[in-house]
Structure 1
Amino acid sequence: MRSLSSPSTAAHAPAKRRGARLLAALVATALATLGVTAVAAPAHAAGPTVSAQEIPAAGGTITLTGSGFTPSTQGIYLGVGPTGLPGFYLGASSLITSETIWIAPGNVDGTSPSGRTAPMNADGTFSVTVTVPAASASTPTYAVYTSKGHGQGMSDTSQNSITPLVYAPVPPATTALALATSPASVTDGSAVTLTATVSPAAAGTVTFREGSATLGTGTVSGSTATFSTSGLAVGAHSITASFAPADSTAFAASTSPAVTVTVTAVGAPTPASVTVSPATGLDPSGASITVTGENFAPTGGAVPGVYVGVGPKSAAGEPSWNLTASLFQGVAWVRTIGADGAFTSSLTGIAQVFTSNGRQVDCSTEECGVYTFAAHGSADRTQDTYTPIAFAVPAVTPVATTLSITTSSASSTAGSGVDVTVTVSPKADGTVSILDGSTVVARNLVLRDGKATTRISTLQQGARSLTATFTPADPSAFAASTAAPVTHTVTASPIVTVPTAPDPVVVATPVAPAEPVCVARSISDATLSWGLKSSFRNYISGGIAKGSWNLSGVTYADGKYGWSNGSGSYNTADDKGIARFPGSVAFTGHNGVLNLVLSNVAVKVTGPNTATIVADVHSTDMGGAASDHSGIAFASVALSGGASGSRVTATDAPVTLTAAGATAFAGFYEAGTALDPVSFSLPLGASVPCDSATASTLATTGGGDAGGWPLLGGLMVLVGVAAVVAVRRRASSQAVAQA
């Protein structure tokens, strides 16, 4: 019967739309008349972005600011890891555990049992700090990764971002420049040689100046540059030197303290002067120097000689400095000066740090030099001289460190995980990596108070040799070290055989004897190998969820879970069947908030090229809401053919998550997501009756007793004959009566 309402509805639809448009126009006109205009909703940012400060050259703490994120309950996860990871979740195993942060509205800035947390503002912005290790040969660069929190980013990529981090340039090495003059006093027209010494040795150019006037330049050879001049005018000249490095990124510029060169007129008395050797690069712990004097007053008669000692340049400003011996170190009395006014004196034990009249002096931070002055309190100031000296910049020897590694238990079962703690002594900043033999299983863990702890769930079965390496944040302060190995034994997960209920007895419905009888073959000792999803395993065992998986009747090795003792039946004619496996895999994370349990797993083959993974699934979302899904088609499998001989097998067959599986997975992945490939082996045995999983669409469900069908057929024939006879008799009786 044709519907009478459909034409009427169709006819009125355009009229309704025209009415709606008219109403909208009238409302808009009324609002405009009242001075009310529509306000557009605020536009969303183009996408989530993270801005970062430069990382200090030796590694350190930086501030990250985010914008354009969605302030949802799930928030986002932010992590720091090596550049080049495919994303937050797919690269979770390589992220720095201590620098992984859950950022969401309402969070506090701190640490919870689930890890670090930070708040997100209502406009989708945030600010957090992270500590990034120094660059190394294995990890030269780092990046910041974000994704939607609580696993939601595995299917919703709207909060995904990758931000490369940049290191600040390495600061150039500090240099020190010392200047010496030979001689310190000359007559007008005589040459004086200026020698500048760069420490540590570095290539470059030295410019010699008097005030702002340039006297000349010299190229550094080894560690010294020289310049000679005879053009200085009569009088005292304060001269300095400045060093310009050839490679300003490797070495810093420096300027020397001033030295004084005295030029006297020809025929005038030449003032006293000394030459110190060596004058630079002195051993800070104690040096010996030779002082050679010229033009001093010869001794004899009333001339008492001179004192020679080392003191701070500031000593000359002290009251009665020439009478205060405690201002100086290494003081020697030159008793004999020849008629030529020359002498030589040796001073020993000259230290960079010493006590000067009760005050500690460090010649690396203030200028020191060799003094001469007339002995025994003489008022003759013509014997006073001062010649600067400089000590070598000591090479910094990093402090040796000791690294130790401990485990929370001596053994663990495969997949359950073990807590590993690495401790550096003395306490130092830096990162540690944990190795299983030569394989890195945890990389660049940031030390906190000298320790780093992480959970490792990827160790293979057997005796594992665990060690660790320490990379200091400041290699000049602390030395790298390697921990002595410890042994941790990983045992196979116990296989618990869970008996399965026998298939229910099927009371066969009789079928026509001409139709074929469906026959299947039994399946026993079937095996199934499947990793579920590698990114999910990494998420569970990594520093975000900080979880593990518990196995019951299932094994784990090489990234795959293994089921055994599977049983069922298979129809080789139609390539249909099912194998059910005992055991379960239970995933937990976030201190038990996240929970996913797969049990009663089965492989249901529906054709030569198709199969389905069926399972009971218990799951909780990150809000703690639990749901149970019984016997759902969790994932579809693409096969490459049916049974071959006495076995049905699949090797690394592609697996795709179904819509029902996505729901049961608590939204971690979208329907259609590729899961890990699956392998199974279904050995075929004796013939058995078909069941709902093996029956053909044309074949009998099988197994019924056909012996009763001939008797039933005979009875039906007799009933038919009797009916014909009765009809014919009724017809004959009616004919007689009419006659």
Structure 2
Amino acid sequence: MSLRRWGAALAGAALVAGIAVTPAIAADPFTPKVTVTPGTGLDPAGTKIVVKGTGFDPAANDGKGFGLRVGPAKADVRDRTGKDFQVSRVIKKDAVGTQIPLGQDGSWEYSVTVKAEYVASGTTYSAKTQPFSVFVFGWDTPALTWDSTTPLKFTGIGDPDPGPGDTAAGLGWGIRYAWRNYITRGGGTVTPSNGATLDSSAPNVEPFPYKWKYGSSTGDSGKGSVSYTGQVKYTFEAHMIWDFTLADPRITIAGDGTGKLTAKIGYSFYGTKTAPEKTRALSDVVFADLKLKAPRQVGDDVVVDIESASLTKEGAGAFAGFYNEGEVLDAGRIAFPGKSGPAPTSGQPTSVPTSTPTSSVPATTTSSACVLTPDSAKQGNLLWGFKQSFRRYVAIGSGTAITASDGVEITDIDKIDGTGPPSGAYRWGFDNAQYKSATEFTTQFRGKVTFTYPSHSFELSIGRPKVVVAQGKGKLYADVELKTTSGAPSPPISQPGVELAALDLAAAKTTEGAGVLSVAGVKVTLGNAEAFAKFYKVGEVLDEATVTLGASCANLPGGSGPGAGPGSGSGSDDLVPDVKYRPDSALASTGVESGVWLLGGLVLLGVGLALVLVVRRRTA
């Protein structure tokens, strides 16, 4: 049923044409609310704050509870393995240890002293450069039902400005003014977080549009893509909009004056808050067709104005029929580090690209004065697909999924044809770097890739890879988490920041110039079997990687993907376990469905890290 047919009439004015009157619905006995006292005028040296919550159903979220974190809006703020926050606690009933007790009435309280600057894992986090907030969210779940963000204001420290409202790197875009107006005037809520903020400097009347934090960009010859981070959550419970969330917009620029805006969309509508009638998990949608003005150079950034935007068919579907295909969305402004190339010509919106560009926007020339130095290393990416045979194993399965979040992009590079879920290699976004030379650097990347195989009882996530290079060798660190269903023979695994792989740069191709360092063809071999319950051998070959670093004034080139040689694991035999793990002939009499092997425990397949769990047929 269309969202136009739901909702209550607002006295004196119809906020959006076509919304029909429906009977009032019963109030949910648990409506989450968070207060922070004090939240402003905080002493940068340290102030005690009291965080209180009400309306948090102890039985909600399968009883797993809720998360509380204080710090910057890092990409892993909602992740179970998120780290380096000033405060990180779990709120739940029957709390133990440092957990915050949750009362049967849904209330909780926590007091803590917060500062405007702190150091974690060798990194200094400061409210002078990135705003601090109190984040509350559902623990270990993608559901956004309980999410809230409360900014903290320190005396003498203004809000850092990521800049999309002006011309600094970032995206200034508000989705659609009528939508924002409908939600806010009707008493709904709008919550920007994780890199998205209200853009009060934009040339629009309230309700203000949003600033989206710059993530990464790759491109040449006026074509490419630019990724941004952040999410905006809308609720309007009187009209049964329990959640509508748009996150991590990505702009693809065609080079002819047109482009596409892709974003992750998730929602829960109608029914009741605890049992919504229509739901959508947060996932990518080609949301809007764009008409773009000519790029221009502003300092070290390229600025491209979005002259007009219109809703695609897929975008209309993601709005559950609230708007129609072709309806006008907000204009906006795209900005990213680099040098502008030739101006694109105007034209009509093009169809969705058949392949993901290997590069992001415009630049055919770069100033010779642009040099990569320890101070100027401000962008980059990691192209690494983990293991092609494992991607194939998951992608050809029934009911499987491969999803990317928090700043990583699934490309068409090294993809497997004929698969359901996207199966290409991954381009991980830049977080920070400590650069000394082309042979000695450390780079932290953002993003998480999750492989889900319900019929094989597992979900594997790999996130936040970090590359450390010195003297022709290196290490790759990452967060690894394995979730298994109840009764599975292998326990869950959570290894944040584990030393995952060894890197060999001896045969890699290193290129330097115009403020960019590219190291392609890096050999990657597994260096830690503990992260995978010792079912995978140290020294196993993974996909090759390409590391790119750039100065803030540089344009990152499009990188070539890893080859299909020994490192890519493309052979079909990779999906066959070693002899010692193979089932005997008794399998034929078990009635086990084809493709699910009867094993004594978790098996990480020979060359593919393919995860298979015991599946036994129950007898009547």
TM-score w.r.t. length of structure 1: 0.22
| Bigger-Rg structure (1/2) | 1
- By percentage of residues, which structure has more helix? 1
